[in-house]
Each structure stands twice: as structure tokens, then as C-alpha cells.
Structure 1
Amino acid sequence: MKKLMGLAAAGLLVAGAANAGSLKVANSDIVLYGGVSAGYQYITSDHVARNTTSFKNNDYFSVNNVIIGLKKDADSNSPIGFNAAFGNFTVPTVIASNTVVNDVLLSSGTFQPWLAYVTIAPVQGLSVDAGLLWNKFGEAPITILNSHINRGILFTGHPVLYAGARVNYDAGVAKIYVGYNQGGGLRQTQGTPTVNNLDIDGNGTTDSLDIDYRVSDAIEAGLMTDLGVAKVGLHIYDESNGRNLYVLCAKTDLGAAKVGIEFDYTTLDDNATLVLNGTPVRLKDNGADDSAYGIAINIDPVISDQVSVPIRIEYVENGDSAALNGAGGILGSAIYLTGEGSAYSLTITPTYNPTGNTFVRAEIAYTSTDAKILVDDSGSEKDNRTYLGFEAGFLF
């Protein structure tokens, strides 16, 4: 699984290639890949976007991933290829459970394509992908492709996946890409009110709030290169009437541990809008902060071929004075799901690999926020969250 985790940023196609067999179909070699995992989770609190009437148990069992994929590379003999992964998967994060992310923000709880694109490679080094894509930075949406069960705080500020087209060019010394999409990813499309049990605008009554942006178009670009001492990536993702992300990623092998770092800086367009009580409200009106930043440090100490203990440390500054309708609020810039002010999290995930394609892992994660953006199962507002979990999986 260590090998898979290191390749997660490349998506399921790489994970599949690492473990899968080939099928001969209509004179083509097609790779079959996938995985299944299940686990148990205990949480002390959840994000306010969760309806507290459904939050009656702190612990639950879950099927985290059921993924089946098919892939055919484009090459000189066959310049058109494809990659398609079908599945049902959960997306827990350290700030919001999979109940919030799956049911409210991403709707990933149904069995359907979650990665599906056609690749055209007219000449060596140049390719075009078109279909349902994942962003090139940050954590993958699929649990079994990450070193941790929970996605981090920075994940909640990423688009994650969307339908669009991307041009890739391998120049040898660097890999470059540019792309265009029409939204549809995490927090990009209008949904139902997701926060409905707090006084969001400070007027003494409870409110309903849809925390998705209305994104109609987005462009992306990035560059990745190996500097010898570290592999580095620079990424830009610009939404119309939404977020503008600037991401720096780097990873290196220090011998005693593998270390990765991600720094995100995000600004909001002037017309970035949420919907409060059915009325569109511009986030930058009334003095709300229009930017946020976050940093994640990932450390994977070298223990053995079968045992690893990946550690993730995150800190975000989500801005202040998210004043909606002229009153003080709790959302900050609303770029991350951590509320007004700063937040940090620590995640530790001891992992054992009995074989090259199986794993069992436990996880403990602690998150603290300045704002009381969390609630417990009694409906009391909280500013911290503890997660304990276990997951076992099989990859093919």
C-alpha cells in the first residue's frame, strides 16, 4: 500500500496499474483495477452542516470504498485510450464527516462513474484528456488512495473532481498542463441549504445557508518538475464567481522519512456568492475577508516494508468578519469549512500491510477551531473534534 499512497496524486489509473491484471477485449489489452474497504468510526462532534436530528450515534460502521475500474493507455500504436472508474465511496474529513461531504456537498454515495475520461495522444509527450477529471493537487477523493482515512482541512477548499478537458505536455525537465471545466465539483454547484441550525448572520434567529458556490466556468494550469532534492508542483485553479487557488506542493525522501508539504493560498472573486435564507449574498460585502491560506505537512517515517505510521499536521487561517446581511457571522471567508479564524489538525494513521495489496489501519485525528463550527449529538456547539477509526481493505 505504501507504493499506492505515493502514487495517489496520479489517480486511480496508477493505482490500478500497480496491482491489476489485463483483459483481452476486442484485440486490446485493458487493465482491470479497483478495491474494497470497510471500517469503523467514532467521532465526538460533527460539522454544523449536518442536521443534528440525524446525528444520534457517535460511532458507526461503513463500507468506505467499492471501486472497479478499466483502463487502456494511449500510445504510438493506439493514440486513443481511456480510464473509467465506477464506485461508491465515502469522503470523511477531519472537520466534517462523510455524512456531510457525501450527502450534502459531493453526493458521492451512489454507484456511478467517479473518474471517466478519454485520452488522445497525437504525438509523444502530448495528450488531451476529456471527461470526468480529478484536480492535479491535494488528496484524492478515494479513501484507499490516501495515507489517511480522513481527508484533511485543505481538501475542503479544493474542487476535487469535475467534467472538463485538460491538455498535458511532458517536456522532459517538467510536466505542464492547462484545462477548462464547467464546475460540478466539491462546493461548486447550487445545492440544498446545508447549515440550518445556527444563527449565521447574528440577528438572533436560526438560518439556512447553502455553502456551495455558483461556478459556471473554471480554468486550471500547473507545472511539475523534479529538482533532485525534491519534486515540486505549482498549480493554479481559477473559478468564475468563486475561488482562485494557488497551490505549492513539494515532496522529498530524507532517508529516515518521506516528507511532503502543501501550501494553499485562496482568494474569492468579487461576485463569490452563498445563499442565506434563500437570498444570494456576496461574501465580500460588509467587510468579510476575501482570502484564506493553509499548510499541510505530511511525514511518513521509515519503519519497515509492511508497517508505516503516516502523520499529517495542518494549519489554516480562514479569515474573519464573515458578515452576512450586515451582521457578524461565524464563517470567516468560508473558503474552508473551519469557520471564522484559524484551525489546526493532527492525524496519525498506523498502517500494516499483510501483503502488497491488502492493508489494515487505525487512525486518530484531533481538530481544533477558533469558531464553534461543530456540534455534538445533543446539538451543543463545539470548537474541537476527536476521531477514532479503523479500516481494512483489499486492492486489485
Structure 2
Amino acid sequence: MKLLWFSLLLNITVATIQAQTTSYKFDFGTDRAAKGYIAVTPTTAFSYKTGYGFDQGSTVEAIDRGGNALTGDYITSNKPFYFSVKLPDGNYDVKLILGDAKGTSATTVRAECRRLMLENIRTENGKQVTRTFTVHIKDSVIKDDHNKVISNVKLKSRESDYLHWDNLLTIEFNDSLPKVCAMEIVPNEVAATIFLAGNSTVVDQAREPWAAWGQMIPRFFEPYVTAIGNYAESGETMKAFARERRLDKIWSLAKPGDYLFIEFTHNDQKPGGNHLDPFTTYKQTLKEWIAEARKRGMTPVLVTSMHRRNFDSSSHIINTLGDYPEAMRQTAAEEKVALIDLNAMSKTLYEAWGPETSLKAFVHYPANTFPGQTTALADNTHFSPYGAYELARCIVKGIVAANLPVAKYLIKSTIEFDPAHPDAVGNFFWPQSAFVNAVKPDGN
């Protein structure tokens, strides 16, 4: 929703926020709702008055198979559709019933800005399944320990259209045959939150064909015990991230047992007011963030930045990141902090792809591949969904290698991955979201 709407909402009192409903049970389909559930029909459009409904111009239809009120009908569409619920920021468990009592289905579920939660959930004829994911939602308000508003994150103008920062949980239903019977949403106050601080290579990229590893990583975690709080933003440096109070927002929500994953380099290395020198100010800033995280009982984790796509004549990667990855490795050793060496893994990964196949992992598309894209896209820094997914698999491998306690919450079938033998691009399936933008994200 537009930032203007959100700004108006900020004027309501704290008491009203606390009184807001935070648990819901929705029955998708016809107006024949199961007991205790709210009926959601094709005409249930989002409004702030009700606090829920179909959003972003979604066009859906209801199919009624008869029988059980909860599972005998469902909502579907031949296009991606969006359902929003007004909620305070925090973590929530979302339980879905998917499938068709008299047919098959295939559903991919994303949250907020294309954050992958459930991947290609298929049901056989007449079968239905229940799937749950745990999601983190955020607004731009910063409160103190007494729930008093003390500040706001300084957002960029382009963030006004993002499907986060807005006190809404927006869920995207997608795939070849999505069929949604029911949804339950309940707050989760015990899950460990993994806060992500980073730039455009980490952020939840809002529009196709761009993607980053931070929006893929939720798919790899079990529900109930872990949530990914992605606070990264395109074009960010460590200095800007702190100055815009994005770090303050993380501190305001953090609790003992949470994590802070830090990945910055691409923009910090550039000259100007936000520049950090690798072995002095960069290391010092990392150490300051590490100390603050530890004060709050959090586990800091350093993530070296992945390489840009830059091959030499022998198909080996050229380092364009200077001494920054090594400076982060040194900081991890000096501070006894867990390190995920994404820089090293990305070199192996890119060289396994080679110059040609690696084009599929980055935003390289001919003109007119997407609506409004009149010129070719050739970006060697930012990733396609396939590339972002493979980097997320590297992060998973790094979590296990670092022996982080949160590793036990990874979905076991997704752990095994060798960057020297990446998943075949032909086997990767990503149903496109409804939002497309041919403009490159900030940062390089």
C-alpha cells in the first residue's frame, strides 16, 4: 500500500494499535464459511475498515465442490493474486490449507516483496495439504521499551510502493494452479528472528526480474521456530544503514536468541561520504555492530559479499571487492564471530557456471522480455531469481558449516549443496509475480 496511507495510520494512538486483532481464521471460497472462520469470497476486497481482503487488483474466482465447509471450496486464479491483512510488526505463523477435493493443484506462496515462503506445493487429484510458514513483518515506526514511538526509519521515495513497511502482511499466491481453501494467522513471540542487514544483493527485491538471496532464504527454514527479518535495502552502505535508522529499528525489535547477519561491501568500497576503508573504518564499524548485538543477547554473523560477475580470459573470477572480504574474515577471527564466506563460495559457484551459464543467474535479458523493457538488461551485480536461489543455498551451507544453533531448524532435505555443482537452471521453477520493473536497483 502507498506510504501516504501508512503515514496517516501512524497518527492513531498506541492503545488502538495494541487493541488491533492479531489472529485470524479465513475460509476461502464461497460465503459458506466453517464455524469460527471469516468467509473470504471473490468480492472480499481489502479495506482498512475490515483489515483484510484481496489486494493489488487481484482477480479471483471461487469454486465450490460441496461437502466440508472448510475444505469443500477454494479460491483460485490464472494470475498471481494477493491477500493482505492489517497487523502490527512482528512474527506470525501462517497456516494454509491448499488443494482441491476433486482436482489437482500447484501453489507457490510468497510474502511481502516476493519473499519465498512455500515452493511449488503440489497436490494429487482429490488431495489437500496443510502447510505452515513463519513470517516477519515490519513497519517504519521505532518504539522504546515502553511502546512509545520515538522515531521512524528514514525511507527512500521508491520504498513507498514496497509491500513492506506498511503494517500489512501481504501474501502472494502464485503458480500454475493455485488453490487456497483456508488460512490461519497467529502471532509468534518465541521464534528466533534472523535480522538481515545488507544492500541490494540481500534485500527483498520488489519487482521482477530482480532478486536477492535474502528473499529466498525463508523457504529453507522450518516453521514456528525461526523468522527472517530482512531489513536490507538497495544502495545501502553501513554508514547509510545506521544513519537512516534501519539499524535502530532492528535494535528496537531484537530479543535474546535472535541473530544479526551482516553483509556489506559493494557500496562501502566506493569513494564519497559513505566510504569505509577495509582494514580501518570498515572493521571498526563491524566491531561496533557486533558489540551492540551481543549487548542484546543476539548472535552476530558476518557474511562476506559475493563476487560480481567478472571473468578473466581463462574463465576465472576477477576480484572487484578489494580487501573487504579479507577484512571481514579478519574481524570474524578477532571477535570470535561466526563467518559465512559467501565470497569464497560465490567464486566457486560462478566458475562452475562459467561465463555463459552464469548469465542465467544474473539479470541479463534481451529487450522486450518484460513489459516496458525496451532495451536489453545486462547487470553483472544483481541476480535473477535462479541466481538468488543458488546463493541462498550457499548461505544455508554456510550456516551449517559455521555450526550455528539455528542450523537445526533448516529443512533437512535442502541442506546438501555443493557450489561446485549448482542446481541446473533448467530445473529451476519460478512463477513470475505481477510486478515488473526494468529499472536497475541502486548500487553496483
Same fold (TM > 0.5) = no
Q: Which structure features the higher share of helix residues? A: 2
What TM-score range do you get, normalising by the shorter chain? 0.3 to 0.5
TM-score, scaled relative to structure 1 = 0.35
TM-score, scaled relative to structure 2 = 0.32
